[in-house]
Amino acid sequence: MSGAGGVIATILTAVPLTFGATRRMHERWRARWRLRNHDPLDADARESDLVFVSGMVRPFEETLVAPLSGRTCVAYRSRIGSYGHAETMQLRPFVIERDDGMGRIVVDGDRAMFGVAAQPLVPRNADREASFLARHAMSKNGRVRFSEVLVEVGAQVLVGGTLVYVPREEPPTGELLFRDPGPPDPQLVGNRESPLIIVSR
């Protein structure tokens, strides 16, 4: 192969990798950019406001197992790229232990934008990759790239979402001393129209 041909081959081989890395960086930047539309959660916040909190991720109830890395988490987005594309995203309700000393807040949604670095898939797990391909009815013909971002328990993050207030359960009626239920609990929620934004700190 001539010198010029070798250079072209090298460039063509590098383009998918460069494009993939650039796309991931762009998505992380875009998540941080979207967070600018959210205000810090404070006493002035009202229901349906876009707000954010900062703190440590804690499980609420069940956790997830990310399909490619096998790591325990509360949210993940797994992808197949290059020649063909497929994506799976899943979230479980989780808790942010706020670092401003204002307690905990539950986060719940079915859609998120991630400003989180991709999880290194090393060593690769052939069985998990094959299962993920089969789930999306894809084969491993040609160049296939896998990527995965996830939010693990203990991670320090900023989370933006829509503020809602959830009424607390009323006390049992058989109690001797009647007590009114406490004030409603704030939660952050997200959906396809207004996704959660999860950014690493």
Q: Which pLDDT tens digit goes with each residue over 98-155? A: 999 999 999 999 999 999 999 899 998 999 999 999 998 887 766 788 999 999 999 9
Cis peptide before 123 (omega within 30 of 0): yes
Residues 6+ apart with CB under 8 A from 168: 181, 182, 183, 184, 185
Question: Which residues share a beta bridge with 150?
Answer: 76
Residue range 22-35: mean pLDDT, rounded:
85
Residues 6+ apart with CB under 8 A from 32: 115, 199
> Which residue from 200, 196, 201 is spatially nearest to 38, judged by alpha carbons?
196
The sign of the dihedral angle between the CA atoms of 121, 125, 131, 134 is: positive
Q: 12 pLDDT band (50/70/90 cuts)?
A: very low
The predicted structure's pLDDT at residue 1: 45
Residue 42 exposure: Cα atoms within 13 Å on the Cβ side: 4
Q: pLDDT higher for 86 or 173?
A: 86
> Which residue from 161, 143, 168 is spatially nearest to 15, judged by alpha carbons?
143
- 87 token code pair: 């994506």
Residue range 47-73: mean pLDDT, rounded:
97
Q: 168 pLDDT band (50/70/90 cuts)?
A: confident
Residue range 17-38: mean pLDDT, rounded:
78
Q: Which segment of 59-68, 83-92, 113-122 scores lowest on mean pLDDT?
A: 83-92
Domain residue ranges of the chain, discontinuous segments joined by +: 3-200
Residue 6 exposure: Cα atoms within 13 Å on the Cβ side: 3
The predicted structure's pLDDT at residue 17: 42
> Which residue from 31, 51, 29, 33 is spatially nearest to 198, judged by alpha carbons?
31
Residue 11 has pLDDT above 50, yes or no: no
Q: What is the DSSP code (8-state) at residue 182?
A: -
